Amino acid sequence: MEFTKMHGLGNDFVVVYGEQELPANAAELALQVCNRNFGIGADGLVYILPSEKADFRMRIMNSDGTEAEQCGNAIRCVSKYVYDNGYIDREEITIETLGAGVQKVQLTTDNGKVAKVRVDMGEPILNGLQVPTTIDAAQVVEHPIEANGQTFSFTAVSMGNPHCVIPVADAASFDYSVIGPLLEKHELFPKKINVEFVTVYNRNHVEMRVWERGAGPTLACGTGACATLVASVLRGATDREATISLQGGDLYIEWNSSDNHVYMTGPAQEVFRGRFE
């Protein structure tokens, strides 16, 4: 299996191009190749496939073998891969995703290579049952939740995959190693959930740390950054445009009031190439 190792702000992936469909053993392969001691090491295994609806189709297997509906950092890596390798020569492309449909991507290039990727992440889903949570409400904003004897308040947002955004005093130093996995599998979330711990510095700057469903702690989460901005706006804590600082770097997120779409802008990077036996 020929592969390319890529990352978006440290959220890293094994990217495979050339298959026509997701392999039947994709879950098993993800467990093998994503293992950081006995494999290549990654947060996920990403396949770039043909699409009847868009320029390309993306399928993402988490490091635990489960499939992710969407991933903001992965879609930036996929976009850079197809352009840098000459599979498309336009700076406006479309990528089909499992959970968020077809998404439009705008590339910024420098010397023939992609330097920055802006993705139309679509409209956020705010209905409690559709995120999904077990809460039947039009919006789930600052709802109480308990884990490990502590009570938090969360806002639920889906960006094609589910997110639980929780404000904390200091996200950068918050120890979420115990709370993260408990909330991921909490009974309020029937399909599990990604958990973001956030601190609002001002109306245009938010710090975020993430426990990803199926992957655990990662250095960045693009859909999580989008959900963080949406949740912060719903709480009245930020404006509709902000820099979201992640452990691996910054993403610029916009929630456009005219079309209700969320836009994510950030980098992607190729690390190395190889062949997995």
The residues annotated with a catalytic role in the active site are: 71, 221
Q: Is 62 annotated as a binding residue?
A: yes
One DSSP character per residue, 88-113 reads ---SEEEEEETTTEEEEEEEEEETTE
148 in a labelled binding site: no
Q: Is 25 annotated as a binding residue?
A: no
Tell me if 66 is assigned to a ligand binding site.
no
- Beta-carbon contacts of 135 under 8 Å, excluding residues fewer than 6 positions away, are 128, 129, 143, 156, 188
Distance of alpha carbon 213 from alpha carbon 101, whole angstroms? 20
Instruction: Find out whether 207 is annotated in a ligand binding site.
Output: no
DSSP string, 22-89: --TTHHHHHHHHT-TTTSS--SEEEEEE--SSSSEEEEEEETTSPEES--HHHHHHHHHHHHHTTS--
Mark residue 65 as left, alpha or beta (left: phi above 0; alpha: psi -120 to 50; beta: remaining): left
**187 assigned to a ligand binding site:** no
Check the annotation: does 101 bind a ligand.
no
Q: Is 213 one of the annotated binding-site residues?
A: yes
Question: Known binder of ligand: residue 36?
Answer: no
Query: Known binding site for substrate: residues?
Result: 11, 62, 72-73, 161, 194, 212-213, 222-223
Query: Known binding site: residues?
Result: 11, 62, 72-73, 161, 194, 212-213, 222-223
